């Protein structure tokens, strides 16, 4: 038992659509669509390059609810490459891809093991010698609210013990609570490493005895998932803490950034500021394709100009045009959250209609008064037949909308271009 | 706040200009057109609220200073509490740098950064819209449509000036409606997106339903494949059967051939069992015998020919016996020819030499014949003797001539030396010389150069004297002359003796006459040549004799040989004879040799014939033995029976071929017998019939199989499409995009709705809290201006229109229903009303207006001026006028006129 080197990844969500992005460019659509598969291809390439002993996938290979057969076939095709290289793959299914969502017609390449609804133990051998035992269990259906961790046996073998499970460790309100368990459930079972899936952000819950790790998803799949995404390259060595190395595998990186342009006076300066910001971000992206959502902020004299006609769109195009020369694909999504350079405090102290307008907006600052907006918004958010497609507005959303409405009103009531 | 003074440092055409004397109440800044009144208005506005951005140059006149640099200047202001401020602004970023300097000594420490507190927080908009009223703006009211007019008048009451609140609301409403309408138009974005989302969801649903079929497609495909396998088995069975019938059909002709051959075989005679080699053996015998017989015939013919040839051969045996002699002769033939030729030439040569000898002998004066020549005894050695004699004779003659010449010379010299010369005795000379020598010896001994020089001089002197006296002594006449004479005589005698010796030598040599040595030398040369000629002649003659003897010998031999030839006469010519002999000899020799060869050939032929006859016999014996072994009588018997055997063999082979052909299809084991048996039991027609039926069955089955294969293919395509199509992912992505767009639209719409909602609330608040005061103040002003024609103004709830009620009648008119002038007056009243209301709670601001009243009738203008005078009582009003005639009116109400 010298060492066991493997890749731990999870939440591939192959073919699942990128959420929260309005696609105006078909090329971006194609790039996003392929990104999840490409990310797994990157995992496979890493496995081949590093000549690992095994690849472990901790659930949510694809979104079963989307019934994408294509995703299953793509996954199988990628696994075939591992199989050809003699690298075994162990897959535990999760809430998004429970066993009942997989086609039974798919034939898995040799060396690929899908765990069943009961805990199984498979040994990984190399040159006739057993390196490790992989324990795992799959979700038979989506709704698994049972603590599956307690069903894992104790690893009494001298080889390394690695468990793979799709679950929720501890209480995280923003995640669906599937196969919930506590850190304590995972300790004391003679395992060296728990390869977990479900949480999309890479986290090391415990670094040894046993190591308990969420690899995070391999590719961002919505606007909130910014930053690098990837998998863990793990090396287990006897009597040592595991070496856990995070490797970025995302083929396309999403950035959500704000840019304060309060001090900027011309559109040209705005373009330059944006370009500088984008160049900084691209350096972080390390030659990946990137989608950069850049929100322009601040009370600025160029607000009116940004608001005019297609100016923002043109600015967006200009920026993309400037970056086009580079070989890397970059899409810029410019959002304008700027406001006119009105001095609200001064305006409030006037004795005119504008001051009254601002005072009625000030009244909305209490949560109770915010509720009165329900009435003017009811026709869409409560009564409209398409209401299910518009997310209900939180207090925060409302406050944001109120601020926008106030600025919009001021833009129209007050002339903007003169001081 | 009121203005006290304008200090224009640089602003447009104005620079270094100060306008002072401004007070509370009405101030009239008078000046003709283009005197800079509007510039002053802008100056005040910009000092208070800032200079516009340079980028706005297309929208605003920037009033770039005529003198260059940036716009700048100050306003000296006085606040309500009496405080004095200097407000200085210099054009720059963000409206320009503002400096507020309190001018009261007590307040010098109190510096403000913003003018807002002094301006009562009135915005630039408010100031521009309300406090600064231009004539253009007032007149503009009349060019607007009803709604705009209403908005403008209403807006004046709100402090919005030219910004139409209704317009803003309308814009928001339209924007909102373009995004979403709960009912009605479907072109609004939300409806379009909803429709797109629902359509995409349906498409996705369809795709997902299809995908659910994937496994059933797989199952169906597998089921069809199984059916296909069963059909393939059936098909295989039928094809096998058809193949059997095909075979029967194909092999039927072979079977019939086989039957025919077997019947023919049965009809043939039985013959001994030959082998295929027998035919070859028979032929080989035949060929061999034929060959031998032919050879024997040929050899016999050759034998006869040889015998004939031998009979025809003849040769001279005697001649051949002389072969050695004859061959020698032939060898010498060339030599003979040479000798004969040489002999003739030699004869001629001898004759010629003889004649030359005779001629040369006669020239030398010799006797004819060799005796004359032989009598002279001369050899080449004598040439030396002759030369010696010639030399002796010459020397004797020379001596004689010399002696004679000496004598003569002496006698002549003697005659010339008559006068005698002093004579010195010889002894004296000798003494001198000896003394000299002794002196030298002593000088040398004692090494004395002087003595040696003296001695040398003595010697020299002695020698000179000796020469001189010696010469004198030769001239002695007696002795020397005698001596010379005697010497001459000795020379003459010597010469005579030499001549006598020469003549003796001539005679002794046999030379026929006396010759001088020189002549004798020539004689000897010619004689030696002659002698050589004679020797040559003799040699040739000797050679001629030798040849004659050799030829005679040859002739004897030739004659002897020729006799053997038995020819009639011997030719004269030796060589010809030899050639005749040679021809005869060679012919005999050839015939003889030929005969020897023929003898040998004859022997060979006889031996060959014997051999051939033996072989012929052996072959015949072998043939006979072979036929006996085969049980045949003779060759004829073989010739008759062998073809029958061959025919039988052919038939057997043919039958075998047919069997092989059949077996190649059906196999050679039991199957073959069964097959033959089956063929016996059937007919070609039956085969055809069976085949036809089988083909029909197979075609039918093939059609069914094709159908199933097609179905499998279709399923495979569907499976492949489902497995490889990313339509679903693509649609999902589109759906998410549409949803996101809808989110965006919903929020955008919500913003418009909130804005509208809040505007309504603000309006209500304003109408409740501020507008009543504005309306009341305006009502007062309007009533005053109209001379009490209108007593009341009203703003109805839910309407932006201002209603003016006539005094007495109670009739109401909206702003649009008023006459032009009245409408302007109402607008002015609303502005002044707003100012009064605004200033209730803040610092009053200067009101600046153009000569607004030019369009008012006299009565209304008067009343308006009065209103203005009242209005200006507690505040500052600055009127910009270019009308000289109006100044009086202004002065009448207490206005202060300042010319600019």
In a domain, B198, yes or no: yes
Which pLDDT tens digit goes with each residue over B219-234? Answer: 899 999 999 999 999 9
Residues in A touching B89 (Cβ below 8 Å): none
H-run or E-run covering B27? strand B25-30
How far is the C-alpha of A393 from the C-alpha of A10, rounded, in Å? 32
Residues in B touching A263 (Cβ below 8 Å): none
In a domain, B789, yes or no: no
Which pLDDT tens digit goes with each residue over A396-414? Answer: 889 999 999 998 898 888 8
What value, to the nearest 5°, has the Cα angle with vertex B741 and ends B208 and A217? 60
Nearest CA in chain B to A106: B215
Phi/psi for A10 (5° steps) reads -160, 170
H-run or E-run covering B527? helix B517-564
pLDDT at B712: 93
Residue B745 tokens read as 């639209």
Nearest CA in chain A to B209: A67
Residues in A touching B719 (Cβ below 8 Å): 105
The angle that helices A69-84 and B684-724 make with each other, rounded to 10 degrees, is: 100
In a domain, B202, yes or no: yes
Buried b / exposed e over A243-256, threshold 16 CB at 10 Å, is: ebebbbbbbbbbbb
Answer whether residue B57 shows pLDDT above 60.
no
- Which residues, in sequence order, are CB contacts of A197 under 8 Å at separation 6+? A10, A11, A57, A58, A59, A60, A92, A94, A164, A165, A166, A167, A214, A215
CA atoms lying within 13 Å on the CB side of residue A182: 3
pLDDT at B9: 92
What is the rounded average pLDDT of the residues B76-87? 85
Answer whether residue B472 shows pLDDT above 70.
no
Residue B578 tokens read as 């030899």
Q: Name the minimum distance, in Å, from the CA of A402 to any CA of chain B.
A: 7
Which of B194, B729, B838 is nearest residue A15 as measured by Cβ atoms? Answer: B729
Identify from B755, B765, B841, B843 which residue to disrupt to test chain A contact, counting A C-beta atoms within 10 A and taking the largest count.
B755
Q: How confident is the model at residue B371 (pLDDT cuts 50, 70, 90)?
A: low
pLDDT at B109: 45
pLDDT at B847: 87
Mean pLDDT (chain A, rounded):
88
Name the residue with higher pLDDT: A256 or B60: A256
pLDDT at A89: 96
How far is the C-alpha of B644 from the C-alpha of A182, rounded, in Å? 111
Which of B160, B743, B754 is nearest residue A373 as measured by Cβ atoms? Answer: B754
Is there a contact between A70 and B722 if contact means CB atoms under 8 Å apart?
A: yes
Cβ-contact B613, B621 below 8 angstroms: no
* Residues in a beta bridge with B86: B76, B101
- The separation between the first and the last C-alpha atoms of chain B, rounded to the nearest angstrom, is 22
Q: How confident is the model at residue A41 (pLDDT cuts 50, 70, 90)?
A: very high
Tally DSSP H helices, then E strands, for chain B.
24, 13
Nearest CA in chain A to B183: A384
| Structural domain harbouring B243 | 192-271+653-722
* Residues in a beta bridge with B19: B6
- The separation between the first and the last C-alpha atoms of chain A, rounded to the nearest angstrom, is 77
Helix, strand, coil fractions of chain B, as percent rounded to 5: 70, 10, 20
Name the residue with higher pLDDT: B130 or B90: B90
Q: Name the minimum distance, in Å, from the CA of B122 to any CA of chain A.
A: 6
Answer whether residue A6 shows pLDDT above 90.
yes
Alpha helix segments (H runs only) across B142-188: 146-158, 165-179
How far is the C-alpha of B134 from the C-alpha of B282, rounded, in Å? 153
In a domain, B79, yes or no: no
How far is the C-alpha of B262 from the C-alpha of B655, rounded, in Å? 7
How far is the C-alpha of A79 from the C-alpha of A109, rounded, in Å? 7
In a domain, B359, yes or no: no
Nearest CA in chain A to B175: A408
Which pLDDT tens digit goes with each residue over A174-204? Answer: 777 888 898 899 998 889 999 999 999 999 9
Helix (H, G, I), strand (E, B) or coil at A419: coil
Which of B124, B215, B758 is nearest residue A104 as measured by Cβ atoms? Answer: B215
Identify from B750, B763, B771 which residue to disrupt to test chain A contact, counting A C-beta atoms within 10 A and taking the largest count.
B750
Residues in A touching B743 (Cβ below 8 Å): 20, 390-391
Which pLDDT tens digit goes with each residue over B736-793? Answer: 889 989 988 999 999 999 999 999 888 888 878 877 788 888 888 888 888 888 888 8
Residue B557 tokens read as 């031999």
How far is the C-alpha of B771 from the C-alpha of B157, rounded, in Å? 7
How far is the C-alpha of B11 from the C-alpha of A255, rounded, in Å? 50
* Residues in a beta bridge with B88: B74, B99
Least confident of B274-278, B464-468, B613-617: B464-468
Residues 694-753 of B with CB under 8 A from A: 719, 722-726, 728-730, 732-737, 739-744, 746-747, 749-753
pLDDT at A419: 39
pLDDT at B218: 86
Cβ-contact B16, B77 below 8 angstroms: no
Cβ of residue B59 closer than 8 Å to a chain A Cβ: yes
Please choose, from the candidates B111, B91, B89, the residue with its C-alpha nearest in 3D space to the C-alpha of residue B101: B111
Cβ-contact B719, B221 below 8 angstroms: yes
What is the Cα B787 distance to its own chain's centre?
A: 106
Residue B486 tokens read as 């005697």
Which of A70, A361, A381 is nearest residue B723 as measured by Cβ atoms? Answer: A70
Q: Determine the length of chain B.
A: 900
How far is the C-alpha of B712 from the C-alpha of B222, rounded, in Å? 9
pLDDT at B708: 93
Identify from B168, B733, B740 which residue to disrupt to test chain A contact, counting A C-beta atoms within 10 A and taking the largest count.
B733
The angle that helices B670-680 and B189-266 make with each other, rounded to 10 degrees, is: 80
pLDDT at A417: 44
Peptide bond into B571 cis (omega under 30): no
Cβ of residue B222 closer than 8 Å to a chain A Cβ: no
Is there a contact between A406 and B215 if contact means CB atoms under 8 Å apart?
A: no
Q: Name the minimum distance, in Å, from the CA of A161 to any CA of chain B.
A: 36
Q: Name the minimum distance, in Å, from the CA of A180 to any CA of chain B.
A: 29
pLDDT at A418: 44
Identify from B90, B116, B758 which residue to disrupt to test chain A contact, counting A C-beta atoms within 10 A and taking the largest count.
B758
Helix, strand, coil fractions of chain A, as percent rounded to 5: 35, 25, 40
pLDDT at B143: 67
Helix (H, G, I), strand (E, B) or coil at B121: coil
What value, to the nearest 5°, has the Cα angle with vertex A237 and ends A232 and A238? 145
Residue B22 tokens read as 């401004």
Which pLDDT tens digit goes with each residue over B88-106? Answer: 999 887 778 888 888 876 6
How many Cβ atoms from other residues are within 10 Å of residue B252's Cβ? 18
Cβ of residue B166 closer than 8 Å to a chain A Cβ: no
Is there a contact between B726 and A23 if contact means CB atoms under 8 Å apart?
A: no
Residues 531-560 of B with CB under 8 A from A: none
Cβ of residue B118 closer than 8 Å to a chain A Cβ: no
Is there a contact between B837 and A19 if contact means CB atoms under 8 Å apart?
A: no
Least confident of A210-224, B448-462, B756-770: B448-462
- In percent, how much of chain B has pLDDT > 90? 19
Answer whether residue B124 shows pLDDT above 80.
no
User: Virtual CA dihedral for A181, A186, A188, A192, nearest 10 degrees?
Assistant: 180
Residue B327 tokens read as 């061959």
Domain boundary residue, one of B668, B695, B722: B722
Cβ-contact B153, B826 below 8 angstroms: yes
pLDDT at B620: 92
Is there a contact between B211 and A69 if contact means CB atoms under 8 Å apart?
A: yes
Q: What is the DSSP letter of B852?
A: G
How far is the C-alpha of B223 from the C-alpha of B202, rounded, in Å? 31
Residues in A touching B51 (Cβ below 8 Å): 419
What is the rounded average pLDDT of the residues B559-572? 82
How many Cβ atoms from other residues are within 10 Å of residue A35's Cβ? 24
What is the rounded average pLDDT of the residues B596-608? 93
In a domain, B261, yes or no: yes
Cβ of residue B527 closer than 8 Å to a chain A Cβ: no
Domain boundary residue, one of B695, B722, B749: B722
Cβ of residue B127 closer than 8 Å to a chain A Cβ: no
Answer whether residue B349 shows pLDDT above 60.
yes
How far is the C-alpha of B254 from the C-alpha of B737, rounded, in Å? 81
Domain boundary residue, one of B722, B756, B778: B722
Phi/psi for A89 (5° steps) reads -125, 140
pLDDT at A218: 95
Please report the domains of chain A, with CATH numbers, ordered by start residue. Answer: 3-248 (3.60.21.10), 252-341 (no CATH), 349-419 (no CATH)
pLDDT at B542: 92
Report how many domains make up chain B. Answer: 2
Cβ-contact A214, A202 below 8 angstroms: yes
Nearest CA in chain A to B46: A419
Which pLDDT tens digit goes with each residue over A342-397? Answer: 888 888 887 788 888 999 999 888 878 888 888 899 988 988 888 888 888 888 88
Which of B56, B171, B743 is nearest residue A417 as measured by Cβ atoms? Answer: B56
Identify from B89, B746, B774, B845 which residue to disrupt to test chain A contact, counting A C-beta atoms within 10 A and taking the largest count.
B746
Helix (H, G, I), strand (E, B) or coil at A212: strand
Residue A181 tokens read as 């368990």
Identify from B91, B98, B116, B123 which residue to disrupt to test chain A contact, counting A C-beta atoms within 10 A and taking the largest count.
B123
How far is the C-alpha of A383 from the C-alpha of B537, rounded, in Å? 177
Which pLDDT tens digit goes with each residue over B504-532? Answer: 888 888 887 788 888 888 888 888 888 88
Name the residue with higher pLDDT: A326 or B840: B840
How far is the C-alpha of B50 from the C-alpha of B124, rounded, in Å? 9
In a domain, B246, yes or no: yes
Answer whether residue A139 shows pLDDT above 70.
yes
Please choose, from the candidates B139, B564, B543, the residue with its C-alpha nearest in 3D space to the C-alpha of residue B342: B543
Complex confidence, ipTM? 0.87
Cβ of residue B768 closer than 8 Å to a chain A Cβ: no
Residues 838-857 of B with CB under 8 A from A: 838, 840-842
How far is the C-alpha of B652 from the C-alpha of B657, rounded, in Å? 9
Cβ-contact A83, A106 below 8 angstroms: no
H-run or E-run covering A206? strand A203-207
Nearest CA in chain B to A72: B723
Helix (H, G, I), strand (E, B) or coil at A131: strand
Please choose, from the candidates B66, B57, B52, the residue with its C-alpha nearest in 3D space to the C-alpha of residue B11: B66
Is there a contact between B736 and A66 if contact means CB atoms under 8 Å apart?
A: no
Q: Name the minimum distance, in Å, from the CA of B776 to any CA of chain A.
A: 16
Q: Name the minimum distance, in Å, from the CA of B32 to any CA of chain A.
A: 29
Mean pLDDT (chain B, rounded):
84
* Residues in a beta bridge with B795: B802
What is the rounded average pLDDT of the residues B839-863? 79
Answer whether residue B418 shows pLDDT above 60.
no
Is there a contact between B762 and A70 if contact means CB atoms under 8 Å apart?
A: no
Alpha helix segments (H runs only) across B10-89: 37-49
In a domain, B856, yes or no: no
| CATH number of the domain where residue B216 is located | 1.10.287
Residues in B touching A18 (Cβ below 8 Å): 733, 736
The string of DSSP codes covering B43-65 is HHHHHHH-PPPGGGGGTS-----
């Amino acid at each position: 038992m010298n060492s066991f080197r493997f890749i731990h990844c999870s939440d591939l969500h192959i073919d699942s659509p990128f959420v929260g992005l309005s696609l105006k460019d078909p090329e971006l659509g194609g790039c996003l669509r392929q990104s999840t598969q490409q990310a797994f291809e990157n995992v496979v390439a890493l496995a081949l390059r590093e000549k690992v002993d095994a690849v472990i996938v901790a659930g949510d290979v694809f979104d079963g609810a989307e019934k994408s057969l294509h995703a299953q076939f793509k996954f199988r095709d990628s696994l075939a490459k591992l199989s050809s290289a003699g690298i075994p793959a162990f897959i535990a299914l999760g809430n998004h891809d429970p066993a009942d969502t997989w086609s039974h017609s798919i034939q898995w390449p040799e060396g690929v093991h899908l765990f069943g609804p009961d805990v199984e133990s498979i040994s990984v051998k190399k040159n006739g010698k057993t390196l490790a035992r992989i324990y795992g269990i799959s979700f038979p259906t989506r709704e698994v609210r049972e603590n599956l961790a307690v069903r894992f046996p104790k690893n009494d073998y001298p080889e390394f013990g690695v468990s793979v499970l799709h679950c929720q460790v501890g209480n995280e309100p923003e995640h669906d609570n599937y196969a919930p368990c506590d850190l304590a459930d995972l300790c004391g079972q003679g395992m060296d490493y728990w390869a977990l899936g479900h949480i999309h952000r890479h986290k090391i819950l415990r670094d040894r005895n046993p190591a308990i790790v969420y690899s995070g998803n391999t590719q961002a799949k919505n606007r909130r998932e910014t930053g690098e995404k990837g998998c863990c390259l793990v090396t287990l060595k006897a009597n040592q803490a595991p070496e856990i190395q995070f490797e970025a595998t995302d083929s396309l990186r999403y950035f959500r950034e704000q840019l304060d342009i309060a001090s900027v006076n011309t559109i040209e300066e705005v373009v330059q500021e944006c370009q500088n910001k984008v160049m900084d971000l691209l350096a972080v992206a390390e030659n990946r394709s990137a989608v950069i959502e850049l929100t322009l902020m601040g009370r600025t004299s160029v607000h009116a100009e940004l608001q005019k006609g297609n100016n923002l769109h043109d600015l967006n195009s200009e920026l993309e045009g400037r970056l086009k020369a580079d070989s890397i694909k970059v899409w810029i999504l410019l959002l304008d959250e700027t406001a006119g350079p009105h001095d609200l405090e001064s305006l409030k102290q006037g004795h005119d209609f504008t001051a009254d307008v601002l005072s009625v907006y000030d009244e909305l600052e209490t949560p109770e008064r915010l509720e009165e907006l329900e009435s003017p918004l009811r026709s869409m958010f409560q009564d409209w037949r398409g209401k299910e497609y518009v997310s209900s507005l939180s207090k925060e959303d409302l406050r944001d909308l109120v601020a926008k409405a106030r600025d919009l009103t001021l833009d129209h009531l007050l002339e903007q271009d003169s001081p | 706040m009121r203005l006290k003074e304008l200090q224009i440092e640089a602003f447009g055409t104005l620079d270094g200009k100060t306008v002072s004397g401004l007070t509370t109440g009405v101030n009239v800044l008078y000046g003709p057109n283009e005197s800079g009144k509007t510039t002053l208005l802008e100056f005040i506005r910009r000092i208070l609220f800032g200079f516009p951005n340079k980028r706005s140059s297309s929208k605003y006149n920037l009033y770039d200073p005529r003198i260059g640099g940036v716009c700048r200047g100050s306003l000296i202001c006085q606040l309500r509490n009496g405080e004095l401020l200097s407000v200085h602004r210099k054009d720059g970023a963000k409206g320009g740098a503002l400096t507020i300097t309190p001018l009261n000594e007590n307040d010098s420490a109190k510096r403000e950064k913003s003018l807002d507190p002094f301006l009562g927080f009135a915005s630039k908009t408010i100031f521009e819209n309300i406090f600064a009223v231009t004539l253009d703006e007032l007149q503009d009211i009349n060019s607007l449509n009803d709604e705009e007019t209403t908005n403008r008048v209403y807006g004046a009451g709100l402090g919005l000036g030219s910004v139409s609140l209704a317009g803003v609301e309308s814009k928001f409403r339209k924007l909102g409606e373009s995004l979403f309408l709960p009912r009605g138009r479907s072109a609004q974005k939300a409806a379009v997106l909803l429709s797109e989302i629902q359509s995409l969801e349906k498409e996705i649903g369809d795709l997902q339903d299809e995908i659910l079929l994937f496994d059933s497609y797989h199952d169906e495909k597998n089921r069809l494949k199984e059916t296909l396998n069963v059909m393939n088995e059936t098909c295989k069975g039928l094809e096998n059967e058809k193949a059997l019938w095909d075979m029967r059909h194909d092999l039927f002709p072979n079977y019939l051939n086989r039957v025919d051959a077997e019947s023919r075989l049965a009809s043939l005679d039985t013959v001994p069992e030959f082998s295929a080699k027998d035919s070859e053996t028979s032929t080989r015998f035949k060929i061999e015998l034929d060959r031998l017989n032919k050879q024997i015939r040929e050899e016999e013919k050759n034998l006869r020919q040889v015998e004939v040839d031998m009979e025809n051969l003849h040769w001279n045996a005697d001649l051949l016996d002389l072969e050695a002699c004859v061959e020698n002769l032939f060898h010498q033939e060339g030599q003979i020819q040479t000798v004969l030729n040489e002999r003739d030439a030699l004869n001629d040569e001898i004759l010629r030499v003889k004649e030359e000898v005779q001629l040369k002998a006669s020239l030398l004066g010799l006797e004819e014949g060799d005796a004359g020549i032989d009598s002279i005894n001369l050899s080449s050695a004598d040439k030396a003797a002759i030369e010696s004699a010639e030399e002796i004779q010459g020397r004797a003659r020379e001596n004689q001539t010399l002696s004679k010449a000496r004598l003569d010379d002496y006698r002549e010299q003697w005659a010339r030396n008559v006068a005698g010369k002093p004579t010195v005795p010889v002894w004296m000379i000798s003494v001198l010389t000896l003394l000299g020598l002794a002196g030298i010896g002593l000088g040398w001994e004692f090494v004395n150069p002087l003595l040696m020089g003296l001695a040398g001089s003595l010697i020299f002197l002695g020698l000179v004297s000796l020469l001189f006296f010696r010469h004198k002594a030769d001239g002695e006449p007696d002795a020397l002359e005698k001596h010379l004479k005697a010497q001459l005589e000795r020379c003459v005698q010597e010469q005579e003796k030499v001549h006598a010796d020469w003549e003796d030598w001539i005679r002794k040599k046999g030379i026929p006459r006396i010759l001088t040595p020189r002549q004798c030398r020539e004689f000897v040369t010619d004689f030696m040549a002659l002698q050589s000629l004679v020797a040559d002649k003799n040699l040739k003659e000797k050679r001629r004799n030798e040849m004659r003897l050799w030829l005679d010998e040859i002739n004897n031999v030739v004659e002897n040989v020729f006799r053997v030839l038995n020819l009639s006469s011997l030719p004269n010519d030796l060589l010809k004879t030899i050639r005749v002999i040679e021809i005869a000899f060679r012919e005999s020799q050839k015939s003889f040799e030929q005969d020897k060869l023929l003898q040998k050939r004859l022997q060979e032929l006889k031996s060959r014939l014997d051999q051939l006859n033996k072989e012929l016999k052996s072959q015949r014996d072998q043939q006979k033995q072979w036929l006996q072994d085969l049980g045949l009588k003779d060759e004829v018997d073989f010739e008759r029976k062998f073809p029958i055997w061959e025919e039988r063999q052919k038939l057997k082979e043919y039958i075998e071929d047919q069997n092989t052909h059949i077996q190649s299809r059906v196999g050679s084991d039991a199957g073959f017998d069964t097959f033959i048996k089956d063929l016996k039991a059937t007919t070609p027609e039956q085969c055809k019939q069976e085949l036809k039926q089988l083909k029909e069955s197979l075609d039918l089955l093939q059609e069914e199989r094709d159908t199933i294969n097609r179905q499998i293919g279709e399923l495979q395509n569907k499976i492949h499409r489902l497995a490889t199509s990313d339509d679903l992912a693509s649609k999902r992505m589109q759906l998410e995009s549409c949803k996101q767009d809808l989110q965006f639209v919903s929020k955008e719409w919500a913003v418009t709705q909130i804005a509208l909602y809040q505007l309504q609330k603000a309006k209500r608040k304003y109408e409740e809290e501020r507008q009543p005061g504005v309306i009341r103040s305006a009502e007062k002003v309007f009533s005053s201006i109209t001379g009490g024609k209108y007593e009341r103004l009203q703003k109805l709830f839910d309407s932006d229109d201002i209603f003016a009620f006539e005094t007495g009648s109670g009739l109401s008119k909206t702003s649009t229903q008023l006459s032009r002038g009245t409408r302007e007056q109402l607008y002015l009243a609303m502005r002044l009303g707003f100012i009064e209301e605004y200033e209730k709670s803040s610092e009053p601001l200067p009101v600046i207006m153009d000569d607004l009243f030019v369009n008012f009738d006299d009565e209304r203008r008067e009343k308006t001026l009065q209103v203005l005078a009242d209005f200006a009582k507690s505040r500052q009003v600055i009127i910009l006028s270019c009308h000289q005639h109006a100044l009086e009116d202004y002065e009448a109400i207490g206005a202060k006129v300042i010319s600019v």
